[in-house]
Amino acid sequence: MTQPKNFREIQRGRGAASNPDGRYESLQRVAEDDGWGGLDAPLAALRTTLSIDTAKRVINYNDSPDIPFDRSLNPYRGCEHGCVYCFARPTHSYLGLSAGQDFESRLFYKPDAPECLLQELAHPKYACQPIALGINTDAYQPVERKLELTRRLLAILAEHKHPVSLITKSALIERDIDLLSQLARDGLIHVFVSITTLDRDLARTLEPRAAQPERRLETVAALAQAGIPVGVMVAPIIPVLTDPALENILKRAREAGAQEAGYVLLRLPHEVKDLFRGWLAAHAPDAAEHVMNRVRETRGGKDYEAKFGERMRGSGTYAQLIRDRFRLAYKRLGYPGIASMRTDLFQPPKSPGAQLSLF
């Protein structure tokens, strides 16, 4: 990827340093100085736009052996948090948009998601298993404050006693403690708060519109105090930049009340590897080569390995060291774990026009 001149394209509050065309586009645009000084002109502010994404179905199914759920629900496409490392960025290419700044500024929402969810839960062949809500992009990103799509979906799941898991970088989840507590009483909820680093300055450029690290620890504490099963996800672990903080993140999260913990090693699929290289060049140039060397060491000499069993944790000596460090810290800190969610309480919604029960 051609780097922007003097990183001119870097915008305050945005994670990606550029906006390259998607991998499916027939043409690729490159900034070129025409002699009139256009590349030196100040950039206009990059504004967030919101568009409707209509849906016929909202529950997505998968059979991946790498993740502990077989279905998910995403009320939003794109994510304003702007985490430069986000594995979901390449999905914007399917929309003819960029995985770079488009992903974090051109957002889509599904206003009919609650109605679709009710219809799918009411289907006679639907078999209840936990739904992972907001896995591809954060269900509590800033637009949720206004749209409240996630809250409406949670209310449906709570009403029908359906198990659900959440992972977020946002303190906005505290708004829904009433619904989460209702689900927790029936053993129907797991919440994970993702914490990548405890360094405020690093977090400000790495994940610019997510809650700052200390605020996320406060969210862990608030959820734990409300009796909601909560864990921490140290994700992603970035070699050299964030991996030294692994044990401290686990310690601070446990002190805040986290009952479970997990981690994911940095993933750089498709366009993300170039975007991450651009971020390194702009924000951590002295460490860039060291970081990428370590990344390749965990990915069989490549920037990324998508093979099941390796894509989340990597391979090789360095990846094994991370695994051992996590395992030992988890045990030493006394993480008790979280009980499995119940599926036997599910009460399917009535299908439109369904015959009423006599009892």
Please write the tens of the pLDDT for every residue from 6-46.
444 566 778 888 888 777 776 666 666 666 665 565 566 78
Is the confidence at residue 277, as pLDDT, over 80?
Answer: yes
Q: Write down the pLDDT at residue 273.
A: 95
| Architecture label for domain 5-23+46-332 | Alpha-Beta Horseshoe (3.80)
The DSSP bridge partners found for residue 49 are 106
The conformation of residue 271, written as its DSSP 8-state character, comes to T
The sign of the torsion formed by the CA atoms of 280, 282, 285, 287 equals negative
Q: Can the peptide bond before residue 68 be classed as cis, meaning omega within 30 degrees of 0?
A: no
Q: Write down the pLDDT at residue 32.
A: 63
Q: Write down the pLDDT at residue 65.
A: 83
Average pLDDT score over residue span 147-169: 98
Separation between Cα atoms, residue 276 and residue 199, nearest integer Å: 18
Do the beta carbons of residue 168 and residue 176 sit within 8 Å? no
- Predicted TM-score (pTM) of the model is 0.90
By three-state DSSP, how is residue 198 classified? coil
Is the confidence at residue 188, as pLDDT, over 70?
Answer: yes
Give the type of residue at 173: I
Q: Write down the pLDDT at residue 338.
A: 97
Higher pLDDT pick, 32 / 278: 278
Is the confidence at residue 293, as pLDDT, over 70?
Answer: yes
DSSP H helices in the chain: 101-105, 113-122, 144-147, 149-159, 177-185, 200-206, 213-225, 246-256, 272-283, 288-297, 317-332
Average pLDDT score over residue span 118-131: 96
Domain ranges for the chain, please list them: 5-23+46-332
CA 153 vs CA 166, 184, 228: distances in Å: 12, 16, 18
Separation between Cα atoms, residue 146 and residue 116, nearest integer Å: 20
Query: Which region among 184-188, 289-293, 349-353 has the lowest average model confidence (pLDDT)?
Result: 349-353
Half-sphere exposure (Cβ direction) of 59: Cα atoms closer than 13 Å? 23
Average pLDDT score over residue span 203-208: 95
Give the type of residue at 151: R
Query: Which region among 67-81, 119-133, 300-314 has the lowest average model confidence (pLDDT)?
Result: 300-314
Q: Write down the pLDDT at residue 33.
A: 63
- Cβ atoms within 10 Å, residue 331: 9
